[in-house]
Amino acid sequence: MNTLDIRNLSVRVAGNEILKNFSLTIPKGEVHAIMGPNGTGKSTLAKALAGHEDYEITGGDVLLDGTSILELEPDERSRSGLFMAFQYPSEIPGVSIANFIRAALQARLAEGEELEATKYYKRLYEKMDLLSIDRKFTARSVNEGFSGGEKKRCEILQLAMLEPKYAILDETDSGLDIDALKVVAHGVNTLRSQNMGVLLITHYQRLLNYIVPDRVHVMYDGRIVKSGPKELALELEANGYEWVRDHATATA
Amino acid sequence: MSTTAPTPSFDLNRDIGDFSYPESHKFDAGAGLSERTIDYICDVKGEDDWIRAFRKKALQVFLSKPLPTHWASRDLETINFDKIRYYLSSGQQPKRTWNEVPDDIKQTFERLGIPENERKFLAGVEAQFDSEAAYSNIKEAVGKQGVIFVGSTEGLMKHPEIFRKFFGKVIPTGDNKFSALNSAVFSGGSFIYVPPGVKVKHPLQAYFRINAENFGQFERTLIIADEGSEVTYMEGCTAPKFGTATLHSAVVELVALKGAKIEYITVQNWSANVFNLVTKRAMAEEEAVVKWIDCNIGSRLTMKYPGVVLKGRKARGEVLSIALANDGQHQDTGAKMIHAADETTSNIISKSISIGQGRSSYRGMVHIPKHLSGCKNNTECDALLINTNSRTDTYPAITVRGNRNSVQHEASVSKVSADQIFYMQQRGLSEAEAMSLSVNGFVNDLTRQFPMEYSVELKRLIDLEMEGSVG
């Protein structure tokens, strides 16, 4: 029950099947990394799980603690405990980070219930201290003019405040920006707990120098072709993605 | 000509203003406009001959002017002036306490929260129901300072020496077709006089409520801030949703004498069948400051371009406006700044939001003649589009002559993208909440300058609007 269970999921984008019979189970308390070459469907997996309307589910199911979420709207999935850190999060001009997170928490309360401002700020500042984020940061508009590292800081702070059951971190490209990479690593390492399952999506093995995953999955052409312990990432680094391609062709 | 307005797919005022009570008017000028209508209004109000003559002359001007459809929306042609009722009231004397106000009218204003606001933060309130104020009261302490806050009829009868000096001077009858119409049939509105040096700490508020169908509301407001005085005036407007078009055509004149400050705040929330055609202008003498804060939500067509004539050295004018056009609505708004003295400065910040088929237009006019020096204007127009069908236009006309003056103009158009909405939804906000937050973010730098009660009210109206525009 305490799992995010992706069962034989097939996803189509603009008529093309991108995910093919994809299966993966992430238990709470574990960090799983998905690696794979570009264009193999990693970001599609993240967007489809979050419920983006451009991603059409053509088969399979996704169970969050035993309950299917595929019929839920993106905001309902979020409120039921699924968080996604975006690779390229949108700007929201004029809305401060503090107000945005507050609105997100308010949306989780029953109608007529009001988030208590003093308690909220106390908790916000605790989390910011925990993540070594400067107090001035949350007065800025969400992602407006942010550097790569600041965007990640903003995503990780939201993750910390919303305390989801499962977090998907789409970090496909963040291996390129060392500041961004360190922010994500520090965040995940700090927030790792028995109450949360993490799915870390990356293209670069380098991220895994900072975050040690419980399991590593190699993805190719819309499905997982190899799974293993953390050492698999090193093997992949040594052999490159060509090795995956050959491996996938051999087993297909 | 048809009088049936296309019914929008939803009613934005359903929670706040969309209710009405059965009509029980003692005074009804009937439908249509003629000299007899004017005689009826003058007789009922007991007005002097000069004002009767003024009104009749204005009627001729109104009839002689064509609709401004060569530049404005042709939707104006759907107004049937023969079907409109020009004067409806239950009596001409406003009550001084809420207890004396007839029950149905009192309930209307209670539902709109007016008596509560009066207790909380206002220095005086006038509540107009159709053609006349049902309630008018000013806090005793403010009255003792010599501040006059009454309806326009009472103003012209009891204070003719001040009233006549400024009435129709900032906006002459013939300024445009609708200022002429207002001059012919005006009723209600506020007359305010603030004596020299008096600073009215709390805002004075007027509330304009249309309750009757096929009706035209033509309030006339004249505010005079004498030398070195300060006053803030706020107006709110609502009407229930009827199947036929309703007309609201006000004229508002402000006079800020030397060193005076006037802040005029409007939050209008008309239902989607109201034609809102309003002329607002101020005259600022030396070192006077006039600030218009204008929030236009709702209505079928709003045409409104608050202006300031900067007549004295170092006078300053500001227009801060927000317009929100939802499906079936057209907000045609803007600002006018006429620089007529050295070292005058003006600032225009206009934010418009267009949703679905909603349409927003900005029309601006900034005029700085050649012989002046040290004048400055800053104009910023930002438009936000939600959904691909929205339309926005900007028509800025800036005439600056000579080389001793400076102007700055910036315009931007942005969109609430599907990605932005998805991002917010992923954090748990519903689609409506996400849109609402985007819109509030867009207007945030302006609303921060508003008095707190008004920014809260505005946020509530935006939330309701967004709720209605989703799914």
CATH of the domain at A181: 3.40.50.300
User: Which has more pLDDT, A150 or B236?
Assistant: A150
User: What percent of chain A is modeled with pLDDT above 90?
Assistant: 79
Is A132 inside any structural domain?
no
What's the CA dihedral at B144, B146, B147, B150 to 10 degrees?
A: 90
How far apart are the CA of A131 and the nearest CA of chain B, in angstroms?
19
Is residue B42 helix, strand or coil?
A: helix
Report pLDDT digits (tens) over A10-37: 999 999 999 999 999 999 999 999 998 8
- Chain A nearest-CA distance from B348, in A, is 19
Chain A residue numbers touching B422 (CB-CB < 8 A): 50, 52-53, 74, 90
B337 touches B311 (CB < 8 A): no
Chain A residues close to B444, C-beta within 8 Å:
94-95
Identity of the residue numbered B23: E
Q: Which residues of A touch B (CB under 8 A)?
A: 50-53, 73-75, 77-79, 83-84, 86, 89-95, 100-101, 103-104, 107-108, 141, 158, 162
Is residue A204 a part of any domain in this protein? yes
- SS3 state of residue B406: strand
Indicate the number of domains in chain A.
1
Examine residue A79 and state whether it is found in any structural domain, yes or no.
yes
Domain ranges of chain B: 27-304, 419-471
Measure in Å the smallest separation between the Cα of B353 and chain A Cα atoms. 14
In a domain, A169, yes or no: yes
* Element housing B193 (H / E): strand B190-194
**Eight-state DSSP code of residue B5:** P
Q: What is the pLDDT of residue B333?
A: 95
Is residue A146 in some structural domain? no
Q: How far apart are CA B67 and CA A206, in angstroms?
A: 70
User: Cβ(B446)–Cβ(B349) under 8 Å?
Assistant: yes
Contact A107 B444 (CB under 8 A): no
Domain of A14, in residue numbers = 3-92+165-251
CB pair distance less than 8 Å for A84 and B442: no
B441 shares contact with chain A (CB less than 8 Å): yes
Q: B236 is written with which tokens? A: 């709110």
Classify residue A197: in a domain, yes or no.
yes
Token duo for residue B168: 């129709």
Does the beta-carbon distance from A75 to B437 stay under 8 Å? no
Alpha-helical (H) ranges within A109-230 are: 117-130, 148-162, 178-191
- Which residue from A minimizes the CA distance to B437? A95
A74 CA: distance to closest CA in chain B (Å): 6
Identity of residue B356 = G
Query: Any CB–CB contact under 8 A between B349 and chain A?
Result: no
- Position B10 scores a pLDDT of 33
Question: pLDDT category, A174, cuts 50, 70, 90?
Answer: low
What pLDDT is attached to residue B23?
66
- Does the pLDDT at position A145 exceed 60? yes
- Cβ atoms of B204 and B192 within 8 Å: the answer is yes
Whether A216 is in a domain gets the answer yes
Distance from CA of A232 to the nearest CA of B (A): 31
- B419, A90: Cβ pair inside 8 Å? yes
Q: Tell me, yes or no, whether A227 lies in a domain.
A: yes
Query: Is any Cβ of chain A less than 8 angstroms from the Cβ of B424?
Result: yes
Burial of B258 (0-12, 13-18, 19+ CB in 10 A): middle
Instruction: Report the alpha-carbon distance of residue A229 to residue A121 in Å, rounded.
Output: 40
Looking at residue A242, what is its pLDDT? 81
Average pLDDT estimate for A84-95: 95
Q: Give the pLDDT band (50/70/90) at residue A138.
A: very high
Helix and strand totals (H; E) in chain B: 11, 24
Report pLDDT for B286: 98
Q: What is the pLDDT of residue B431?
A: 92
**Complex ipTM value:** 0.96
Chain B residues lying within 8 Å of A84, measured CB to CB:
426
The mean pLDDT values, 10 residues at a time, for chain B of 471 residues are 35 53 77 94 94 97 94 91 90 81 80 78 82 83 92 93 96 97 95 97 88 88 98 84 82 98 91 92 98 92 97 98 92 96 97 91 93 95 84 84 88 90 97 93 88 79 76 50
Q: For B419, name the nearest residue in chain A, comparing CA atoms only.
A: A90
Instruction: State the pLDDT at residue B388.
Output: 67
